[in-house]
Structure 1
């Protein structure tokens, strides 16, 4: 069905009659049944109809006899729950010849009445897995930021929702659809009456069977049931909610695929908890431990601005009148990333999560609910978004129960889904929360189920995202010859765990051996772990287009608990070493549940920088350099140290260059660059030296501290050939000294080259250790 806009108001239909009016008596001074008799007498004087009024309890389902017990259990389970007396709720059947809204308004004027509103049926809020032929269309299953990472979660115990109950509350379904029949979905209560295609699409998103038909549900192993708002005595959402939660277990998930009329202005397409009886029922359910997911609905309204009959902003979290039912409220966004709030979606601080609200591939049926083979690529609205969030909730509960032995409470789970997710394109304006990211939930402290192997970017790195130095890994080690027992020499208990100077300088003329050290801070063993090693030419920006493959090594297992574990040797043949002295080593690690990135897959440079900062399975250490004789093509008495200052691999971008000098007194340092780069970097003219081969500029540097040279736009894939010219007094070379050039992007370091000049003691020691 099409998404309805706020001004597209549905009209009463014959099958909707008779309508009922929900009435709540004031709890102070009026007690049923005397209040019932009083209200009936007052109503008789306000109407002109030959039909007698029919009054009966609002909550009259099979669960009614258990209401007192449910309320008491909710009170014990949730100390914040303020019990309501459901006996104060009744419903009045509106005679056919009476206008329902007018009668509800008259009832609200009575002193015995706290609230009254029409319960009007509305349409729902419309708008191996690879052997399922439509699975590739289900982008909402994919990795974040595109989808919710459901496919990743399926690899974990309980990640398919096994053992968790799911109930869909709406008005109709085709339970015999070919991709749903094997799910054995049953009806709890109510009448399977209408909007069959809608209900069938909702069930498909969550429960499509993993077979060779159609698609696959987000949580296909969950135990699915349905309950209808059409009760034997008429349309009654609140009664259906109470009957649903009475038949569910702690941690099960109830989806409210419904919307409501505003009791104040009569507008349609509001979340169901706008109606007080529905709110009471939802609050009871969440206090009982039932996770309730509520469609935010398709009115395009700012929920924060809404004021109810009592003058309270009940949806505005910043308002004193805010009331929290405990439900997870869902908005709708575009299917394309970055996800933009769709215009029809309600929004506000009350909305917790969003998901796709368009282009959803799922099951459907015909208007009679009898076609068992239909599918759609266009299910939409908050109706389409809410089942995606339900699927994420079922997966989290399933994994928690299977691996940890417990289920999250409704408020805990809501916080888990809200904390770890993909923001919308413009969060302050969209106000629809985040789209859950199951990979983030699995790997962080909420579940911590996945293995999380990592290499340190620097000594002291604990694997968290970093915006600091990313080029001084102590876990990439190069040696002139293999070590007899690398684990004993470099691993846990070796005494060298935090030594960043274990590498020897690279020399031409013989093979070298590389080792990689890894830790696993995740909640399970990583098995196996694969590591790829690369070298890059000396550059201040080590982008993947500069990487050259050295070799790969595997670790059969990497235990959890941050045990520093050393790989086997990787031989770097002398024939593959490109030149004496200056290198950057890059290591990329991964396991089946924490895959390593493909270095050719980064679409933009920003994407690459973000990945390096936010992912801990990529690390590098810069060059291991031995001081050579004075260069013959540089100024007399200077070491000439060549390097590249590259541009990004995707487009022209602005970078800054800085030097960090730690040289002794009397030293000199000069940066030699192409003339165009020097003039772009410096805010004032620089002296340009000409020779027969090239035009270069030489910029004097501070040898004893940090110097910001300037900023320049570097074109895509450019490689500015530069040299650092360094002169150190002979009398000062007893100790080792360093100087570095680093490249910054948006004031974040994205790479550096560091040269170390070993002193006499280091050279005599024969180790000549390099340092990043």
Structure 2
């Protein structure tokens, strides 16, 4: 064994967090999915516009759209699906009758177009994502192919379709049906004055743009900011190598501070208000580090966009597919929800606007994304709502259901006092600045005379301005993990890390969680890295070798910034230590990978696990590989 020593100040923090991360390990049996309780749905306020009817059939029903007709495909139903139906007492006769009744009811609605699938990805792709997500997370997921929608005529209100919704929910085979209101950006006073809209006609000239990084107080060290500059000094801390997609309505993709986008999903709204909003969001997160304008918290990340015109649920699912495991998506939307008892003393125009996961299809899309390793950040909304109130039917109660998303509230810029209008409650995990945010867009700070490509603002606000601060922080953590060779962080681990290491909000009965502190979070992250070319300078390193294996297992080292007391044995477990077998079943017997163990002191908080088939859901994992060894050392992970 070869060990190099390096002092670390992170030991205490690591011990505490490692103990907490083991709680994320996947259970032996899948955690059952909680079906929507349609009895708890509350009416939307009178006159609320709605843009689609959504219906979801019960799990196991295998209802599919074939030739514009809904059918229950009994011949394709699996044994597990048949068991789910039997558990609900749904016979084939009842199911077939309900499916026909549901289609007839949907055709009675004031439709703008025909019945269609809510999620646009191929059926096989959605099924594969469900299977993989369940395997990796240990949690049952919804069959997204069971969701359907009818787009409604413009001007349709919730009360106009209330009878159809009630009739759909009366069908035993329908898990839930509802009318969905249009989503809006979670910005206070969304929309611009006509005079500012007229600036679109201004000629775009090219004066020198000042550097406004000094206006971006949220970049500063705690307690007022997230300490982004500290993160930039850590490998991967600028989000390098991590994909990110913003979900809303429009963006100025030609803005001088906008990075190239790797994907643009769906049709953008041709509207200045939407475009300014999306541009401001991206500026906080990925504004280019070019010496002028603004600099994003995670300016090294690879950005894309997903338009809400696809429908919120589909936009979420498509964004998650685009970023993949380890990626991050941001839901920059909120919508009108039921009224609660909390008075709206400000921002009355968005009273009771709430987080998008309130609606079941959005929730199931988010749950599928997080189960597949995608970190989801979601604006809590600007509706002055207490998300713990009975009006919301318990859907924001983690003991009822938990999508895995990071829900973000908003505070004053420097004092961390909840904004008057921010939503709050136990489901809100963390917060960001809800006012005075400098970013791209709008033109009130710079560029009003020069055209949209040089617009900058110093007044971006709402949970819309708060959520990008958290998103940039999540991208930074994923980037650090990637640079360290630790693999993608589990989304729930990212949520826990941000929620437990940030700066506390000001004393207030309204919970909005902590403001992220990247210095604390990064220093608290367990750091175990792998090298196939000798020890890593400045770290504690332990050689991992098998002398009987000729495939260059002579320069492989497991390294960390903390001295975990690792010991390696090629001859069985070490007495008096806690040991984990390290093996690869594809190795020939002559290579003797049957008695190799990695050991830690019995007092170590590390709970090590070994996998020969990919990372273990809910744990931090490091790939252990030797590129010169042909015996399947490509999916072996040490997890902790």
TM-score norm. by structure 1 comes to 0.51
- What's the counterpart of residue 424 of structure 2? 347
Alignment of 1:256-655 (within 5 A): 256-262=331-337, 268-308=352-392, 312-317=393-398, 320=399, 322-337=400-415, 339-365=416-442, 371-426=452-507, 429-447=509-527, 524=538
Shift of 1:103: 1.1
Aligned to 2:57: 25
Residue equivalent to 2:37:
none
For structure 1, which segment, 62-71 or 410-419, has the greater mean C-alpha deviation from structure 2 after superposition? Answer: 62-71
- The answer to whether the 8 A contact 1:132-1:210 is kept is no
- 1:71 aligns to what? 130
- Partner SS for 2:336: coil
1:435 is paired with a residue of what secondary structure? coil
Q: CA–CA distance in 2 between the matches of 1:414 and 1:560?
A: 23
Q: Partner residue of 1:39? A: 102
1:20 to partner: Cα distance: 1.7
Give the paired residue count. Answer: 426
Q: Give 1:246 deviation, angstroms.
A: 1.8
Shift, 1:247, TM fit: 1.8
C-alpha separation between the residues in 2 aligned to 1:264 and 1:431?
19
Q: Does the 8 A contact of 2:499 with 2:516 survive in 1?
A: yes
**Quick one: which of 206, 224, 230 aligns to 2:303?**
224
- SS of aligned partner of 2:519: helix
Matched, 1:86 2:144: yes
Indicate the residue corresponding to 1:693 in structure 2.
Answer: none
Q: Note if 1:58 corresponds to 2:118.
A: yes
Q: Which residue of 2 aligns with 1:124?
A: 185
Alignment match of 2:329 (pick from 229, 254, 263): 254
Q: For residues 403 and 227 of structure 1, what CA distance do their matches in structure 2 show?
A: 29
In 2, are the aligned partners of 1:416 and 1:446 still within 8 Å (CA)? no
CA distance in 1, matches of 2:378, 2:297: 18
Report the structure, 1 or 2, having the larger helix content: 2
Structure having the higher Rg: 1
SS for the counterpart of 2:251 is coil
Work out the CA distance in 2 between the residues paired with 1:525 and 1:87: 48
Query: 1:406 and 1:100, CA in 2 relative to 1: closer, same or farther beyond 3 A?
Result: same
How far apart in 2 are the matches of 1:299 and 1:144? 28
CA RMSD of aligned residues (A): 3.3
- Is 1:140 the counterpart of 2:218 in the alignment? yes
Does the CA-based 8 Å contact 1:260-1:274 persist in structure 2? no
Runs of at least 5 residues in structure 2 that lack an aligned partner in the other structure: 1-44, 64-69, 72-95, 189-208, 341-349, 530-536, 541-559, 564-640
Match status 1:162 vs 2:240: yes
Structure 1 pair 210/28, CA: closer, same or farther in 2 (3 Å)?
closer
1:63/1:246 contact within 8 Å kept: no
Other-structure match for 1:545: none
Unaligned segments of structure 1, at least 5 residues: 1-8, 450-522, 527-558, 563-772
Q: How far is 1:105 from its partner?
A: 4.4
Give 1:150 deviation, angstroms. 0.4
- The 3-state SS of whatever aligns with 2:480 is helix
Q: Tell me if structure 2 keeps the 8 A contact 1:183–1:208.
A: no
CA distance, structure 2, for counterparts of residue 365 and residue 97 of structure 1? 29
Say which of 231, 256, 277 aligns to 1:153: 231
Tell me how far 1:153 sits from its aligned partner: 0.9
1:652 matched residue in structure 2: none
* SS in structure 2 at match of 1:300: coil
Measure how far apart 1:314 and its partner are: 1.7
